[in-house]
Amino acid sequence: MEKQAGSGPSLSPATMGEAWARIRGRLREEVGEVEYRTWLRQMTLAGIEGDEAIVVLPTRFLRDWVRSHYGDRLSALWQQESPAVRRVDVRLGPQRPAASAEDADEAAAPGRDGPPRRNGLAEPLSAGRVAVRSGDARGDWSAPLDPRFTFDTFVVGKPNEFAHACARRVAEKPALPGFNPLFLYGGVGLGKTHLMHAVAWAIRAGEPARNVAYMSAEKFMYRFIAALRSQSTMEFKESLRSVDVLMVDDLQFLIGKDNTQEEFFHTFNALVDAGKQIVVSADKSPSDLNGLEDRLRTRLGCGMVADIHATTFELRLSILVAKATAAGVDVPKSVQEFLAHKITSNVRELEGALNRLIAHANLFGRAVTLDNAQEVLHDILRAHDRRVTIEEIQRKVAEHYNIRLTDMSSPRRARAVARPRQVAMYLAKQLTSRSLPEIGRRFGNRDHTTVMHAVSRISELMQADAAFAEDVELLRRMLET
Ligand code: ADP
Ligand code: MG
């Protein structure tokens, strides 16, 4: 890693203020007015501590958002202003009197009195949220939508093509029989929230009068509890029932929250009966969401249920190409392939790795190369290497197919053991960084061509047989967590 010389001269308060103003101005140009006012306007510079610039935001929600979406960019801009600043720390801090605002989540959180109010954020967001108010002063339900999560930026591949097609369908024609509710499920970081926002954007763009409400299940609960406290549950029910499209993200959050589940169930029924569209996401299928009331589970499963599978190498590669192109950065093929091979857990991590590479390249004005990718990402890559060992894979797969662990390296060729062994080889190739000959050695000294054959055979079978593919994906998920 390249080091800036020493700690550099420290900044005087006046220079610091000017630098900060320039950084804010720059960000404002980069992200656009709506996004800036939504997320960044309330940033305050608290000072410089050592080599860190301390930026504070008044709510946890804003802090997390700014940290994850703009943290890298803030650091890069600071470094351009002053090499003495090497990092930016985004913290929760006291609210500035001039910009008193609360985000909707916290305004509605339990422990506060009165019906949920929305101030501060409502105004800057209005440009992107034209539809929400449609003639109902209290119909202000939707959480902000991420402007980057549209269909245009969603990369379609085998693992998500079905979910994507369903989402498109719902966006074109909400409340189509057979697609209501739309239930999207899949592991973390695979694009559920992205798809939901894309549906919401598309419906709002096509029909601005439609009242589209997107929220997390957690927020649904907060609002419900706030309504209970302020004895305004009737208003809560009425305003919710006036939405045309209700989207609730991460429904698994409602497990164990019986009152909220009950309320959601009634809302759900009222809306579906009134011909409104519901879109729900969760980390598991309705039938696997243990702890959800049976009648709710049944209703959730009776529209369209679409699974987003774990990413494949091909999808990861297409995503990297798309994101690098969008960022206008030239990322060599070798680096793309390297990342797609190494960072297999989910799209969020893949994206994080790419963003870091890009920020680094911008910062030092260097091209992205395989060497500096390895250097810049060494911590992420190490974490991934540590993830799964061949022994673990063999053990899990043997257990799953009910064969003996020793059969993984035995010469037996009966289908009942040969197929699981191939699955284990396939997973070893996908989940570890071991080479084909190394993998072969660990499976009873087999040749690398045997491993190669296993990998392509299992890929073929997965293409041809959905149940088998699901089985292998399940094993992969178990191994990855
Ligand atoms: P989830 O809600 O399933 O946990 P997200 O929708 O938040 O996942 O996705 C995590 C990140 O990965 C987001 O930044 C999202 O834009 C990105 N992402 C996921 N899938 C895709 C895809 N198919 N194409 C482009 N970006 C994607
Ligand atoms: Mg999500």
* pLDDT per residue as tens digits for the range 81-95: 887 888 899 998 876
Query: What CATH number does the domain containing 301 carry?
Result: 3.40.50.300
Per-residue confidence band for 206, with pLDDT thresholds at 50, 70 and 90: very high
Q: Which of 350, 382, 414 is the last residue of a domain?
A: 382
Cα(46) to centroid(ligand 2), Å: 31
Distance CA 470, CA 475 (A): 9
CA-nearest residue, atom 1 of ligand 1: 189
d(CA 57, CA 55) in angstroms, rounded, equals 7
Q: Which atom of ligand 1 is nearest to the CA of 194?
A: 6
- Ligand 1 pocket, mutate which of 68, 160, 193, 194 (most atoms under 8 A from CB): 194
Looking at residue 377, which CATH number applies to its domain? Answer: 1.10.8.60
Which pTM value belongs to this model?
0.59
Find out whether 243 and 129 touch, Cβ atoms under 8 Å. no
Are 174 and 261 part of one and the same domain? yes
Q: Among 108, 129, 150, which residue terminates a domain? A: 129
27 and 168 share one domain = no
89 beta partners: 54
CATH of the domain at 466: 1.10.1750.10
Of the given ranges (55-64, 126-135, 274-283, 313-322), which has the lowest mean pLDDT? Answer: 126-135
Beta-strand pair 245-249/212-216: parallel
Lowest mean pLDDT across 158-167, 177-186, 432-441, 448-457: 432-441
Q: Is residue 436 part of a domain?
A: yes
Atom of ligand 1 nearest to the CA of 322: 25
Instruction: Answer yes or no: do 274 and 152 share one domain.
Output: yes
Distance between CA atoms of 198 and 207, rounded to whole angstroms? 14
Pocket test for ligand 1, best of 148, 320, 348, 477 (most atoms within 8 A of CB): 348
End-to-end Cα separation, the chain, in angstroms: 31
Q: Pick the last residue of a domain from 382, 417, 443.
A: 382
Write out residues with Cβ below 6 Å of ligand 1: 149, 153-155, 160, 186, 188-194, 319, 347-348, 351
pLDDT of 149 above 90: yes
- Point out the ligand nearest to the CA of residue 217: 2
Is it the case that residue 411 has pLDDT exceeding 90? yes
Q: Which two tokens stand for residue 112?
A: 């506060």
CA-nearest residue for atom 21, ligand 1, is: 191
Most confident among 122-131, 159-168, 255-264 (mean pLDDT): 159-168
Specify whether 275 is located in the same domain as 355. no
Q: What would the mean pLDDT of 54-66 be, rounded to a whole number?
A: 85
Q: Which residues contact 365 (CB under 8 A, 6 or more apart)?
A: none
The pair of structure tokens assigned to 72 is: 């890298």
Pick the more confident residue, 18 or 140. Answer: 18
Q: Which amino acid is residue 434, in one-letter code?
A: R
pLDDT at 104: 34
Phi-psi region of 191 (alpha: psi -120 to 50; beta: other; left: phi over 0): left
Residue 101: band (very low, low, confident or very high) from pLDDT cuts 50, 70, 90: very low
What radius of gyration, in Å, describes the C-alpha atoms of the chain? Answer: 25
- Relative to the CA of 197, which ligand 1 atom is closest? 6
The model's confidence at residue 387, banded by pLDDT at 50, 70 and 90, is low
pLDDT at 27: 87
The atom of ligand 1 lying closest to the CA of 164 is 23
Query: Under a CB-based contact definition with an 8 Å cutoff, are residues 398 and 357 in contact?
Result: no
* Same domain as 231, residue 344: no
Which atom of ligand 1 has the smallest separation from the CA of 347?
12
pLDDT at residue 96, as a whole number: 54
Mean of the per-residue pLDDT values for the chain? 84
Q: How far is the CA of 48 from the centre of ligand 1 (A)?
A: 34
Same domain, residue pair 369 and 430: no
Closest listed residue to residue 19, CA positions, set 80, 81, 73, 77: 81
Cα-to-centroid distance, 254 and ligand 2 (Å): 15
141 Cα: distance to centroid of ligand 2 (angstroms): 18
Residues 59 and 17 in one domain: yes
**Nearest protein CA to atom 9 of ligand 1, as residue:** 191
Q: Is the pLDDT of residue 123 over 70?
A: no
Residue range 154-172: mean pLDDT, rounded: 97
Burial of 218: CB neighbours in 10 Å, binned 0-12, 13-18, 19+: middle
Residue 380 confidence (pLDDT): 80
**CATH number assigned to the domain comprising residue 75:** 3.30.300.180
Mutual angle of helices 390-401 and 415-431, in 10-degree steps: 140
Task: Specify the pLDDT at position 461.
Answer: 94
144 and 124 assigned to the same domain: no
414-465 pLDDT, tens digit per residue, is 999 999 999 999 999 988 888 999 999 999 999 999 999 999 999 999 999 9
Task: Write the residue with the smallest CA distance to atom 6 of ligand 1.
Answer: 191
Domain coverage including residue 163: 140-308
Is residue 260 included in any domain, yes or no? Answer: yes
Place of tokens 């072969």: 440
Query: What are the angstrom distances between the C-alpha of 477 and each of 26, 61, 265, 391, 403?
Result: 41, 29, 30, 16, 20
Which residues neighbour ligand 2 (ion) by CB within 5 Å? Answer: 192-193
Name the residue with the closest Cα to ligand 1, atom 20. Answer: 191
Same-domain pairing of 346 and 289: no
Residues 73 and 100 placed together within one structural domain of the fold: yes
**pLDDT reported for residue 441:** 95
215 in the same domain as 198: yes
**pLDDT digit string (tens) for 221-254?**
988 988 888 888 898 898 898 999 999 999 999 9
Mean pLDDT of 359-388: 82
pLDDT-derived band at 264 (thresholds 50, 70, 90) equals: very high
The side-by-side arrangement of strands in the sheet containing 52-57 is 44-49, 52-57, 87-92
Exposure string of 415-448, with b = 16+ CB inside 10 Å and e = fewer, is eebebbbbbbbbbbbbbbebebeebbbbbeebee
Residues 394 and 469 in one domain: yes
Q: How many domains is the chain partitioned into structurally?
A: 4
Q: SS3 of 453, please?
A: helix
The alpha carbon of 195 and the centre of ligand 1 are apart by a number of angstroms equal to 8
Residue 408 lies in a domain: yes
Q: How far is the CA of 219 from the centre of ligand 2 (A)?
A: 13
Local structure of 121: helix, strand or coil: coil
**What is residue 385's predicted lDDT score, i.e. its pLDDT?**
60
pLDDT, one tens digit per residue, over 301-352 is 999 999 999 999 999 999 999 999 998 889 999 999 989 988 888 899 999 9
